[in-house]
Structure 1
Amino acid sequence: MLLVIIRTLILYMATVLLLRVMGKRQIGQLQPYELVVIIMISELAAIPMQNTGIPLLYGIIPIFVLVAAQVALSYISLKSQKARGFICGKPSILIAKSKVMDEELKRLRYNMNDLLEQLRQKDIPDITDVEYAILETSGQLSVILKSHKRPVQPEDLKITTEYEGLPITLVLDGRIIEENLERVNIDVNWLENQMEKHQIKSVQDVLFAIIDTRGQFYYQLKSLAE
């Protein structure tokens, strides 16, 4: 039993490490060849877990080879546009100026019910509001609405907005993120002064604290149950 547990943990850590090498894309964003690699990795990892008579390397080596092949294909598709079209495919226009490209639907074996369902999921019940609908290589549907149907932006109303940027986390789960303090050119003394101003007794009581691009300090304390 102990041997099974150890083998399982080794395979689990090896698989997680190699999947990290593949990148951070979610399942819905994977290209077909990447999805195939993940399915095959799961099968290869399961075999040595179930059968202790199979050497552990017989599971790890094929997984390593698959990940190396995936990384190589990704690099090739990054450098060559022709290879990218062959490996990943090309986006397909399903709707152009509110007209459904029925020949393209037939070629992709993509029926109207699927198309209308995808539009409804994007809160677009009326196909006449669509300028373009593009089926991406990942299988997701991108929709571009007609200009008069798009949400109004401040720029449309000639309204000038302030730059927001990205808030920087200063404290996370009771621990000061010193590298982030350096990024915004502040020190621990400034943070301690802010905590004192807001009557925070200890940094360990802080769930998170951030500073926005306007220099505003915001925080939340841990719950009393903790």
Structure 2
Amino acid sequence: MNELFQLSAPWWVFVLRSTAIYVLVMALVRVSGKRAVGQFTPFDLVLLILIGNAVQNGINGGDNSLTGAAIMAVTLIVLNYVVALLTSRYRRFERMVEGEPVVLARDGKLFPQVLRRELVSNEDFAEALRVNGVEQVEEVGLAMLETNGHITVLAKRKD
């Protein structure tokens, strides 16, 4: 029964490992692009499961104790809270973590190079137009790829 709670390393090693993996995974998610995060598909679910499995040993270092699991879970929750707190208080940190919205189209002109760079397909863009009640690109006042991966479309004003 005692082995359930016996750590295989000092507690701070679990905190350090959890922090390092958290930063790594957050950086990888950030590099993967807004659209990849905003559109959660079955493939993304598989990727998420595999990433969780891949980093598991990096976090726990082979320790299977309940105490180690509790330390790692608390560390990850605290890190997530700290990141949320910092992004809510510091605009520069928010931009670093979440990025900035990107203009995809303005005044009826589509920017295809931006669509490609941001990994937005023409079909996804067309769907965003339809969802927002815009039939053609020429009717777009502004189309933005938001930091959460969603596309916001504002129609041109009719004077």
Which interval holds the TM-score relative to the shorter structure? 0.5 to 0.7
> Which consecutive unaligned segments of at least 5 residues does structure 2 have?
1-36, 39-47, 54-62
Residue 79 of structure 1 and its aligned partner are, at CA, apart by 2.2
**1:139 and 2:149 are equivalent in the alignment:** yes
Which residue of structure 2 aligns with residue 100 of structure 1?
A: 110
Hey, what's the Cα distance between the residues in 1 that align with 2:155 and 2:127? 16
CA distance in 2, matches of 1:93, 1:107: 12
TM-score normalised according to structure 1 size: 0.41
Q: Give the count of matched residue pairs.
A: 107
- The aligned runs of 1:56-67 (5 Å cut-off) are 56-67=66-77
The correspondence of residues 54-93 of structure 1 with structure 2, limited to 5 A, is 54-93=64-103
CA distance in 1 between counterparts of 2:155 and 2:83 reads 34
**Structure 2 counterparts to residues 1-226 of structure 1, below 5 A:** 54-148=64-158
> Structure 1 stretches of 5 or more lacking a match?
1-26, 29-37, 44-52, 150-226
Q: How far apart are the structure 2 equivalents of 1:39 and 1:80?
A: 31
Higher relative contact order (CA 8 A, sep 6+): 2
TM-score using structure 2 length: 0.56
Name the CA shift for 1:63/1:39 in 2 (closer, same or farther; >3 Å): farther
Q: Distance in 1 between matches of 2:78 and 2:104?
A: 35
Q: Distance in 2 between matches of 1:129 and 1:81?
A: 32
What percent identity do the matched residue pairs reach?
22
Q: CA RMSD in A?
A: 3.2
Task: Give, as a single letter, the amino acid of the residue that structure 1 aligns with 2:111.
Answer: M
In the alignment, the residues of structure 2 paired with residue 94 and residue 148 of structure 1 have an alpha-carbon distance, to the nearest angstrom, of 21
In terms of fraction of residues, the more helix-rich structure is 2
SS of aligned partner of 1:94: strand
Write out per-residue CA displacement over residues 105-152 of structure 1, whole angstroms, 9 at most, x where no aligned residue.
Answer: 122122222211222233322222210011110011111111229xxx
Aligned-partner residue type, residue 64 of structure 2 = I
Q: CA deviation at 1:66?
A: 1.1
CA shift for structure 1 position 39 = 6.9
